């Protein structure tokens, strides 16, 4: 790796400079975007390995190119480790991203025009859960359920009524900005009553399921669970589709040749590495600390009169209503915190009256901070910095002092692999 970086420095100093700048940004700032994390050093090594060079269309033992002895080994390892970690009957480790994995499920198990019930985008769902601007939202008929913004609860009587009326072929739960846990039993009961498949998109909390700190939808009889392999799982960019044996063939054919060609074998190797790490006691401790940190941070923010969507969190993330709390839209709040090396993302809130690029909130989470070794006491400090800066967005002296404090604070918590 070091030699390769020296080649890069010599032959493309512009890219090398940007790379080193990003390294420094990650070292000197606090990453609070809940979908981001610091991957394992072993994953970084694998991503930059010779597996990058190999094309491997097909599946182990059934490839279209020769020279697959070692790619078959790593993909088999990744699949078997996924089955152990998530207690599932079948795993496909080839999807190139979270969006691709969800698309593969829809296209493999449904027909265009079929009805899918999923969470409304502004209430916490993802673009691939049927947002009208997405291709999946145009191919399938999505019926959306909503939450009570005050506490995040879902009216399952209404969900049942809507399901009985619309007869969905699939009921999907999971989220991208929902700070509560999911009542899998309630969703499963409704799906069984109407004869629908059940799917969970666990992209955000897959690592917490793997680490035993959040419940596993598979244990409730769900047909399909998808998860990205980065975020809380701390692996490479990629996706996993976990399903029953009954659906295995349809899922595999949908991924390849249905949706994509050759998998990125360097990422598949990195997924195998990640799933071995996820079986360790150290990872389980990490997953539990992520949740503890999130609850501590949420409590500290609430104690400082910050309005949180749903009033708190049951998982690794929270959504701050910055308009109500500080008179700032989410874009403004994100930019203020960027100035002090605290990275967040602007976020719509339920039924947000503001447009997506200037929404009413920001989304924050604790996976990356926990990876660096931050614990509950550190969350108290984070909350104080966030509140003080958002209360004084134009006080450049205060923001400059806070930036220095954050930078010094971060020196105590090394970034893995850097």
Report CA dihedral (173, 128, 205, 413) to the nearest 10 degrees: -160
d(CA 47, CA 263): 13
Q: What are φ and ψ of residue 347, in 5° steps?
A: -150, 135
pLDDT, residue 3, reads 76
Closest CA to 369 of 330, 342, 403, 338: 342
pLDDT at 55: 96
pLDDT of residue 4: 84
| pLDDT tens by residue, 298-344 | 999 999 999 999 999 999 999 999 999 999 999 999 999 999 999 99
Rounded distance, CA 56 to CA 49, Å?
15
Alpha-carbon span 249 to 260, nearest angstrom = 16
Q: Return the structure tokens found at 140.
A: 């399938």
DSSP reduced 3-state for 33: coil
pLDDT tens for each residue of 48-59: 999 999 999 999
Q: Cβ distance 100 to 256 under 8 Å?
A: no
Contact 193, 163 (CB under 8 A): yes
The pLDDT of residue 1: 47
**Cβ partners under 8 Å of residue 169, min gap 6:** 109, 110, 114, 115, 116, 196, 197
Active site residues: 55, 57, 201, 228, 231, 237
**What residues in the chain have per-residue pLDDT under 70?**
1-2
CA angle 87, 89, 91 (to 5 degrees): 90
Residues near 26 by beta carbon (within 8 Å), at least 6 away in sequence: 38, 415, 418
45-277 topology per CATH: 3.40.640
Task: Output b/e per residue, 184-199; b: 16+ Cβ within 10 A.
Answer: beebbebbeebebbbb
Domain boundaries, the chain: 45-277, 289-410
Q: Which fold has domain 289-410?
A: 3.90.1150
Please report the pLDDT score of residue 369 as a whole number: 98
From CA 293, how far away is CA 311, in angstroms rounded?
16
CA distances from residue 248 to 55, 108, 118 in whole angstroms, order as listed: 23, 10, 23
Which string of DSSP letters, residue by residue, matches 259-292? I-SS--HHHHHHHHHHHHHTTSHHHHHHHHHHHH
Alpha-carbon separation of residue 386 from 277, 331, 357, 370, 409 (angstroms): 32, 15, 21, 17, 14
The string of pLDDT tens digits covering residues 386-415 is 999 999 999 999 999 999 999 999 999 999
pLDDT of amino acid 149 = 87
């Amino acid at each position: 790796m070091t030699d390769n970086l020296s080649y890069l420095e010599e032959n493309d100093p512009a890219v090398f400079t940007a790379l080193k700048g990003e390294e420094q940004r990650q070292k000197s700032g606090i990453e609070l975007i809940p979908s981001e994390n610091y991957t394992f050093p072993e994953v970084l090594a694998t991503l930059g390995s010779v597996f990058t060079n190999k094309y491997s269309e097909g599946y182990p033992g059934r490839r279209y190119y020769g020279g697959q002895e070692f790619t078959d080994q790593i993909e088999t390892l990744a699949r078997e480790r996924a089955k152990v970690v998530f207690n599932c009957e079948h795993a496909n480790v080839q999807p190139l991203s979270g969006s691709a994995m969800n698309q593969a499920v829809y296209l493999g198990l449904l027909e265009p025009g079929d009805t899918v019930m999923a969470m409304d985008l502004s209430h916490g769902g993802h673009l691939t859960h049927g947002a009208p601007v997405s291709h999946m939202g145009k191919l399938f008929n999505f019926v959306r359920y909503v939450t009570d913004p005050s506490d995040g609860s879902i009216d399952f009587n209404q969900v049942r009524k809507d399901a009985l009326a619309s007869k969905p072929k699939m009921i999907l739960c999971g989220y991208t900005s929902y700070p509560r846990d999911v009542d899998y039993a309630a969703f499963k009961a409704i799906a069984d009553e109407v004869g629908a498949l059940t799917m969970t998109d666990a992209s955000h909390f897959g690592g917490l399921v793997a680490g035993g700190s959040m419940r596993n939808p598979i244990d409730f009889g769900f047909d399909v669970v998808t998860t990205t392999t980065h975020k809380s799982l701390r692996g490479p960019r990629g996706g996993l589709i976990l399903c029953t044996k009954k659906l295995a063939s349809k899922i595999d054919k949908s991924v390849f040749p249905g949706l994509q060609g050759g998998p990125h074998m360097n990422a598949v190797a990195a997924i195998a590495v990640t799933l071995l790490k996820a079986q360790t006691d150290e990872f389980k401790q990490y997953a539990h600390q992520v949740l503890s940190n999130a609850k501590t941070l949420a409590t500290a923010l609430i104690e400082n009169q910050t309005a949180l969507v749903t009033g708190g969190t049951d998982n690794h993330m929270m959504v701050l209503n910055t308009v109500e709390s500080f008179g700032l839209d989410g874009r403004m709040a994100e930019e203020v915190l960027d100035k002090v090396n605290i990275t967040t993302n602007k976020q719509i809130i339920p039924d947000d009256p503001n447009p997506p690029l200037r929404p009413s909130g920001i989304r924050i989470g604790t996976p990356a901070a926990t990876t660096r070794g931050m614990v509950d006491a550190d969350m108290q400090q984070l909350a104080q910095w966030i509140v003080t800066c958002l209360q004084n967005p134009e006080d450049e002296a205060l923001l400059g002092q806070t930036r220095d404090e954050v930078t010094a604070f971060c020196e105590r918590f090394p970034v893995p692999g850097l």
